[in-house]
A and B are shown apart, each in its own frame.
Chain A
Amino acid sequence: MAMAMAMAVGSCESIVLLYSQPRIPRSALQIRCSSSLASKQASSSSKIPSALQDFEAVIGVETHVQLGTATKAFCGCLSQYGAQPNSNVCPVCMGLPGALPVLNERVVDFAVKLGLALNCDLSLRSKFDRKQYFYADLPKGYQISQFDIPIARHGSIEVDLPVEYGGGHRKFGITRVHIEEDAGKLVHAGGGGRLSGSPYSLVDLNRAGVPLLEIVSEPDMRTGIEAAEYAAEVARVVKCLGIGSGSMAEGSLRCDVNVSVRPRGQAAFGTKVEIKNMNSCAAMHRAIDFEILRQVALHKEGLESKIVQETRLWEEGSQRTVTMRAKEGLADYRYFPEPDLLELVLKQEQVDSINEALPELPNETRRRYEALGLSMQDVLVLADDKSVSEYFDSTLEQGADMKMAANWIMGDITAYLKTEKLSISDVKISPSVLAELVSLIKDGTISGKIGKEILPELIRNGGTAKEVIEAKGLTQISDEAEIASLVDKVLLENPKQLEAFKKGKTKLQGFFEGQVMRSTNGRVNPILMKKVVAQKLGLS
């Protein structure tokens, strides 16, 4: 291997293999698609409703899901993100002469999981094909893929649109799911990382052969937010199934979008434009809305012939799509059956056992929460991340009040996680302790305020709520006799105010309440205390 590398590296010709490349930092926290949309919404989105009065957009999405298998699809190399360039390579994924692919069985399991989760018909017999084209990041000159018989097809996915966009439930068709391998990466030296103007390119084959599932949707989406929510739901399903990290920011989930526009009432599709290079759902939303407006504007000016079949790139900086390459007719990939791999045969028992072991899917979680009576806003937040919904579920199992538990998780805990850039699996407070905390508040042992005070301690260090409360002496004072003596003491210490009260300055009731609260560092049960203060002041 070293020899082969040495020959290719160190040349000053047009392509050399890559030695060093800065590591791309892994984003620490996944942020729900819709919540980030609300704040970052581009101005173009507000023009969408009027643009869509006379026109209809037709949107389909092709998603590449990078699978989280330990090794690559057709060789034993580590399938690892962020390794030294060209360190996870072997004769097979480098496309050396004589090397042959051998299918990683985990890839098949993952494909079956996703196929089932997307309600697809599985092909018990499918096969691999070669998709042929020349590019410097494609070592064999073909990509092993599945052409006419994908492993899964005819499925669907259900999404709930964000409340801030008017909400609504949608079901989108899935055309097919198929297995394929990823290509390597080209890094264009000089030229600002872009191909044009770059004197040479570097090839990193670490990613070559990493397993992918390509999901092709039906052209069922009509707006940017629908497509963005579709992508977000696919990411949720991928994470829920544990088959990949499903991160658009990392590039482990990549969406290419096809957008066309047609006058309302027209049956035929308009000319479709492909958009690439969106690294978040929010970017997808904005890119599609931009593209819809661009195409509608051309239609309105009678220039629809200027909408050409092409691939456009979303530019995050300028918030617009620009032409990447015009399609010169249909590319001929000269697909033919991959002779190095056997037919892919699934046994019904294998499919059944995978099906039985499927976790609750995000849509099922949402429907369950909805049935519990949670608001759609709460449903969407709690069911967005499997670890959060599992945490919530465990907290409920421990007997916590549903609404209180939901509020604590969505409020204080989420806020803490965001500030500290942690995920819910990092916190030390267990669901049972949160349930304990909630019930202590509910039964009046502590106030909500004290609950908020001790939460950081519980998150950081764990322990039970009772332990922390007792250690800090924070138990709520709920004994009426004890409260009465506390009130007496405050009245005794403030004779002037008491005199003023008796002369009719009844607003001073609040002053006494505050003094009692302060004297106990907030530990006194506020309802009981207010009752006792009122009694002592002769108001009740």
Chain B
Amino acid sequence: MSHSRHLLALASGLVSTPASTGPGNWIPPRSPSLTIQSFFPRGSTTFSNMGVNTGAQDVVHPRSPKSLHLRRSFISGERSSADCARTPGLIVTEYLDRLREKEPDVKSFLHISSSALDEAAEIDGRLARGDDPGPLAGIPIAIKDNLCTRGMPSTGGSRILDGYRPPYDATAVKRLKESGAVLIGKTNLDEFGMGSSTESSAYQVTSNPWDLSRVPGGSSGGSAAAVAAGQCACALGSDTGGSIRQPASFCGVVGLKPTYGRVSRFGLMAYASSLDVVGCLGTSVDDVSLLLTAIAGHDPADATSSSKVVPNYLKALVPAKELPGNPLAGMKFGIIKETIGEGVEPAVAQVVKNAVVHLEKLGAVVQEVSLPTFSLGLPAYYVLAASEASSNLSRYDGIRYGPRVVADELNAMYGASRGQGFGAEVKRRILMGTYALSAGYYDAFYKRAQQVRTLIQQDFKKALEDGHILVSPVAPSPAFKIGEKVLDPLSMYLGDLMTVNVNMAGLPALSLPCGLIEDEGSKLPVGLQLIGNAFEEEELLRVGHIFEQTVPTW
């Protein structure tokens, strides 16, 4: 290619060289910065063509063994001859084609970008000119629709923002754009993030690519399904009580809920401000690490964002063939006792126990730990989250944006606009939250829940002093059937048992595919939750990367 000279020039400037970073930070040549399925999904190792799940859509193998060396291929010129033609423009075209092909079945997108190809062409141009296209150049990324995207519809899955196009980008979105990423579209979610199945979306029901009769989980169900179905390379989600981890578990992808404050919330439509976190979904720990590196860091527009230095999360990752014999030797893990007993499907518990055995084989010591306050987390979470939600959603009043119902006087206008604009689950939480904050009830509900939150934080702190990382299932069950829990909100809430406490404590947690279970003829993925110390995402990702590279193929 005639521009090879420019690409070489780019390579010297962009790719940090092993020589200069030292052995500790060495980037292995076989572990590219971004991994994307090459001939995805056909020709790749997917569960569907392994013949285990014929009724399902093609899904990405969680460990992406045939990962594409996309970034390197067009930046360093080291790509294989077969990849020669894969410019950002072509990559985005392929993804868009696949997105449209899968969309009628999966319904993961609320909006598909009309400018993605232009943006990819613009990156092609930058590459041709020898400009730095950024670490995510040309990577098609989907954005959960509760993150504001400038000029692009952003509804939060709610009728009350039907047609709303924000005048600004969320900080996480802005940082992706600055890194060269191409926003491919906006993904479906439970209205304002309130739900665990994406069925609370005002617009459509998203299906789980593993079994279209099942939910993808929620609330980031659209993002998880889109990643699993190969409609995007990776995606942003948000996690208030498990909204990244649980859909990642249900869809067999990797999901990271960062520490509270690690990623700016600016531009994330607030559900429960003290619990909300923006995070990442991808097919591999590599992708999630790359994405987190791009979006993490202090934001002057978010007072709760941390100013702690952001490491390059890729640097902690060691490829399989560089690993020593017992890569986790000397590490102590704690499996949370309260998450593997009653209330958890035995098959799920078994898969997680198998994963624990694998961790031990890698040299780790795994002990059972008890978090005495664990069971208090769920009710306390629902009090706090609903309380904050009741306040955060007050701004949707039909006055400045969103549909307005005309009425004779102001209160009637509010009532009608909000009554028609919000769905049942959102109304339920606003009512609960309003009640919990009311005079005379505040102490019994909100204040008590905050006290519980403190106890949960203390329990986690103590448990993490004993072990480096805590382990649990992500959810008590695999993906359930669409409609199965719609009429039973309490059972839906119970599904958040394993995840909400992590938000209450503000800790980072990784959801990793760790096995499959069979349910009514479907093979369904199960996720393993790794919980770490605050701001120690690097350690979680390092361990998660070792795990995903070494766990036996199913």
Q: Which residues of A contact B (CB under 8 A)?
A: 1-4, 7-8, 11, 13-15, 17, 91, 94-103, 130, 132, 134-136, 139-142, 203, 330, 332, 334-336, 339-342
| Chain A, Cβ-Cβ closest to B274 | A339
Asked whether, in the complex, the Cβ of A336 is within 8 Å of the Cβ of B148, the reply is no
Partner of A139, one of B393, B400, B434, B446: B400
Q: How far is the CB of A116 from chain B (nearest CB, A)?
A: 25
Q: B86-94, B161-169, B483-491: which one contacts chain A?
A: B161-169
Asked whether, in the complex, the Cβ of B268 is within 8 Å of the Cβ of A98, the reply is yes
Contacts A13-B404, A342-B303; A97 near B166 (Cβ below 8 A): yes
Determine the distance from Cα of A15 to Cα of B402 in the docked complex, in whole angstroms. 13
Given A97-B156, A332-B438, 6 other A-B residues pairs in contact with their CB atoms under 8 A? A14-B408, A14-B410, A15-B410, A100-B270, A332-B439, A335-B437
Determine the distance from Cα of A330 to Cα of B438 in the docked complex, in whole angstroms. 12
Determine the distance from Cα of A103 to Cα of B303 in the docked complex, in whole angstroms. 8
Asked whether, in the complex, the Cβ of B391 is within 8 Å of the Cβ of A97, the reply is no
B406 close to chain A: CB less than 8 A: yes
| Chain A, Cβ-Cβ closest to B393 | A141
Determine the distance from Cα of A94 to Cα of B399 in the docked complex, in whole angstroms. 11
B397 close to chain A: CB less than 8 A: yes
Determine the distance from Cα of A140 to Cα of B151 in the docked complex, in whole angstroms. 22
Interface-centre pick from B269, B270, B395 (highest chain A CB count, 10 A): B395
Contacts A2-B167, A342-B304; A100 near B400 (Cβ below 8 A): no
| Chain A, Cβ-Cβ closest to B300 | A102
Q: How far is the CB of A196 from chain B (nearest CB, A)?
A: 11
Asked whether, in the complex, the Cβ of B273 is within 8 Å of the Cβ of A339, the reply is yes
List, in ascending order, chain B residues with CB within 8 A of A330's CB.
439
Asked whether, in the complex, the Cβ of B395 is within 8 Å of the Cβ of A140, the reply is yes
List, in ascending order, chain B residues with CB within 8 A of A339's CB.
272-274, 304, 388
| Chain A, Cβ-Cβ closest to B412 | A14
List, in ascending order, chain B residues with CB within 8 A of A336's CB.
387-388, 391, 437, 442, 446
The interface bits of chain B over 144-158 (1 if a CB of A lies within 8 angstroms of the residue's CB, else 0) are 001110010010100
Partner of A8, one of B273, B400, B414: B400
Determine the distance from Cα of A230 to Cα of B148 in the docked complex, in whole angstroms. 48
List, in ascending order, chain A residues with CB within 8 A of B390's CB.
334
Interface-centre pick from B266, B272, B442 (highest chain A CB count, 10 A): B266
B69 close to chain A: CB less than 8 A: no
Determine the distance from Cα of A99 to Cα of B404 in the docked complex, in whole angstroms. 21
List, in ascending order, chain B residues with CB within 8 A of A342's CB.
303-304
* Sample (8) of A-B pairs whose CB atoms are under 8 Å apart: A8-B401, A15-B399, A98-B265, A98-B270, A100-B270, A140-B395, A141-B397, A339-B272
Asked whether, in the complex, the Cβ of B303 is within 8 Å of the Cβ of A91, the reply is no
Asked whether, in the complex, the Cβ of B407 is within 8 Å of the Cβ of A4, the reply is no
Determine the distance from Cα of A1 to Cα of B413 in the docked complex, in whole angstroms. 24
Partner of A100, one of B303, B394, B407, B437: B303
Within 8 A of A (CB), among B274-288: 274
List, in ascending order, chain B residues with CB within 8 A of A140's CB.
394-395
Q: How far is the CB of B382 from chain A (nearest CB, A)?
A: 15
Partner of A91, one of B168, B274, B411: B168
| Chain B, Cβ-Cβ closest to A186 | B410
Asked whether, in the complex, the Cβ of A141 is within 8 Å of the Cβ of B303, the reply is no
B170 close to chain A: CB less than 8 A: yes
| Chain B, Cβ-Cβ closest to A101 | B303
List, in ascending order, chain A residues with CB within 8 A of B156's CB.
97
Determine the distance from Cα of A339 to Cα of B392 in the docked complex, in whole angstroms. 10
Q: How far is the CB of B446 from chain A (nearest CB, A)?
A: 6
Q: How far is the CB of A120 from chain B (nearest CB, A)?
A: 25
Contacts A14-B413, A102-B301, A140-B394; A3 near B399 (Cβ below 8 A): no
Asked whether, in the complex, the Cβ of A141 is within 8 Å of the Cβ of B391, the reply is yes
Partner of A96, one of B147, B166, B393, B442: B166
List, in ascending order, chain B residues with CB within 8 A of A91's CB.
166-168
B267 close to chain A: CB less than 8 A: yes
Q: How far is the CB of A436 from chain B (nearest CB, A)?
A: 54
Within 8 A of A (CB), among B227-280: 265-270, 272-274
List, in ascending order, chain B residues with CB within 8 A of A14's CB.
406-410, 413
Q: Which residues of B contact A (CB under 8 A)?
A: 146-148, 151, 154, 156, 161, 164-168, 170, 265-270, 272-274, 300-304, 387-388, 390-391, 393-397, 399-401, 404, 406-411, 413-414, 434, 437-439, 442, 446
List, in ascending order, chain B residues with CB within 8 A of A341's CB.
303-304
Asked whether, in the complex, the Cβ of A7 is within 8 Å of the Cβ of B401, the reply is yes
List, in ascending order, chain A residues with CB within 8 A of B270's CB.
97-98, 100, 340
Q: How far is the CB of A39 from chain B (nearest CB, A)?
A: 42
Asked whether, in the complex, the Cβ of A139 is within 8 Å of the Cβ of B395, the reply is yes
List, in ascending order, chain B residues with CB within 8 A of A141's CB.
391, 393-395, 397
Q: How far is the CB of A500 from chain B (nearest CB, A)?
A: 90
Determine the distance from Cα of A200 to Cα of B411 in the docked complex, in whole angstroms. 14
Determine the distance from Cα of A14 to Cα of B408 in the docked complex, in whole angstroms. 8
Determine the distance from Cα of A153 to Cα of B314 in the docked complex, in whole angstroms. 51
Contacts A334-B438, A342-B304; A3 near B167 (Cβ below 8 A): yes
Determine the distance from Cα of A97 to Cα of B266 in the docked complex, in whole angstroms. 9
List, in ascending order, chain B residues with CB within 8 A of A96's CB.
148, 166-168, 395, 400-401
Determine the distance from Cα of A485 to Cα of B289 in the docked complex, in whole angstroms. 106
Partner of B266, one of A15, A99, A134, A203: A99
Q: How far is the CB of A477 from chain B (nearest CB, A)?
A: 72
| Chain A, Cβ-Cβ closest to B148 | A98
| Chain A, Cβ-Cβ closest to B418 | A134
| Chain A, Cβ-Cβ closest to B409 | A14
Q: How far is the CB of B279 from chain A (nearest CB, A)?
A: 16
List, in ascending order, chain B residues with CB within 8 A of A102's CB.
300-303
Determine the distance from Cα of A130 to Cα of B270 in the docked complex, in whole angstroms. 15
Q: How far is the CB of B179 from chain A (nearest CB, A)?
A: 20
Asked whether, in the complex, the Cβ of A134 is within 8 Å of the Cβ of B394, the reply is yes
Asked whether, in the complex, the Cβ of B399 is within 8 Å of the Cβ of A136, the reply is yes
List, in ascending order, chain A residues with CB within 8 A of B146's CB.
98
| Chain B, Cβ-Cβ closest to A74 | B303
Determine the distance from Cα of A100 to Cα of B278 in the docked complex, in whole angstroms. 14
Determine the distance from Cα of A15 to Cα of B401 in the docked complex, in whole angstroms. 12
List, in ascending order, chain B residues with CB within 8 A of A335's CB.
437
Asked whether, in the complex, the Cβ of A134 is within 8 Å of the Cβ of B414, the reply is yes
Determine the distance from Cα of A7 to Cα of B446 in the docked complex, in whole angstroms. 37
List, in ascending order, chain A residues with CB within 8 A of B148's CB.
96-98
Determine the distance from Cα of A334 to Cα of B445 in the docked complex, in whole angstroms. 12
Partner of B394, one of A8, A103, A132, A332: A132
Asked whether, in the complex, the Cβ of B269 is within 8 Å of the Cβ of A95, the reply is no
Determine the distance from Cα of A2 to Cα of B401 in the docked complex, in whole angstroms. 12
| Chain A, Cβ-Cβ closest to B437 | A334
Asked whether, in the complex, the Cβ of B387 is within 8 Å of the Cβ of A98, the reply is no
Asked whether, in the complex, the Cβ of A98 is within 8 Å of the Cβ of B303, the reply is no
Contacts A14-B407, A140-B395, A141-B395; A340 near B400 (Cβ below 8 A): no
Q: How far is the CB of B308 from chain A (nearest CB, A)?
A: 15
Q: How far is the CB of B160 from chain A (nearest CB, A)?
A: 10
| Chain B, Cβ-Cβ closest to A342 | B303
Asked whether, in the complex, the Cβ of A3 is within 8 Å of the Cβ of B266, the reply is no
Q: How far is the CB of B275 from chain A (nearest CB, A)?
A: 9
Interface-centre pick from A8, A135, A330, A340 (highest chain B CB count, 10 A): A340
Asked whether, in the complex, the Cβ of A94 is within 8 Å of the Cβ of B391, the reply is no
